[in-house]
Amino acid sequence: AMDVFDTCAFGVLFVIALFNLCMHVRTSNLWISAIAFVLSMLFSDFCSGLLHWGADTWGTFDTPFVGPTFIRSFREHHVTPTAMCKHDIFETNGDNCLATLPVLVWMILKDAKDVDGSILAWPFFVLNFWVWTCLWIALTNQFHSWSHMSNPPLIAVAMQKAGLILSPSVHRVHHQMPFDRNYCI
């Protein structure tokens, strides 16, 4: 039930944050949006890899707070990699959606306007960067799941072929002993 709530809360907050972002878009600052969009993808990918590496290499199942759930799920995934394909969209993405909620609230409240109503470049970049980062983080487990599916959706196949998200062939390298490479999703 919490995964459904987390995913739905993400959806609502993301739409509101995206609306706030759109209220700041001007023809003259689209280039900032484009740069922030690409950098948010790279940043999210780096974060997914760093998190994955940490869960695979540090701590044990008994590590307080993170061991029984977080570390266990990452390491058990090496034993049964396709088990995640049996989860629905809520269970697959709920935890990641939950992690983005405080940032989305911050982005809903963020204003990139100067006192004269003009859009300030750096605050506008920050707004773009974090809204898009929340999207990529929320979808990381979905992208991961698609890399294990025998018949993923066409959009997933297109994104995999374009190198935008994790492909089965690239991810297969991570699932070979000793599971010490290709962490990014």
Peptide linkage before 178 cis (omega within 30 of 0) = yes
Give the pLDDT of residue 57.
87
Distance (Å, whole) CA 127 – CA 157: 30
Q: Residue 120's closest CA among 28, 4, 13, 17?
A: 28
**CA Rg, the chain, in Å?**
18
The string of DSSP codes covering 94-121 is HHHHHHHHHHHHHHHH---B-TTSPBPH
Give the pLDDT of residue 90.
92
3-state helix, strand, coil in the chain (%, to 5): 75, 0, 25
105 pLDDT tier (thresholds 50, 70, 90) = very high
22 pLDDT tier (thresholds 50, 70, 90) = very high
Give the pLDDT of residue 71.
85
Q: Residue 7's closest CA among 141, 159, 144?
A: 141
Count CB atoms within 10 A of the CB of residue 105.
14
The first and second tokens of residue 112, run together, are 């990139």
Q: SS3 of 29, please?
A: helix
What one-letter code names the amino acid at 162? A
Give the pLDDT of residue 150.
92
- pTM beyond 0.85: the answer is yes
Give the pLDDT of residue 184.
82
Give the pLDDT of residue 108.
97
Q: What is the mean pLDDT of the chain?
A: 92
55 pLDDT tier (thresholds 50, 70, 90) = confident
Distance (Å, whole) CA 47 – CA 100: 13
Give the pLDDT of residue 69.
79
Give the pLDDT of residue 179.
75
pLDDT (tens digit per residue) in 128-184? 999 999 999 999 999 999 999 999 999 999 999 999 998 988 888 887 877 777 888
pLDDT (tens digit per residue) in 107-120? 999 999 999 999 99
Percentage, residues of the chain above pLDDT 90: 70
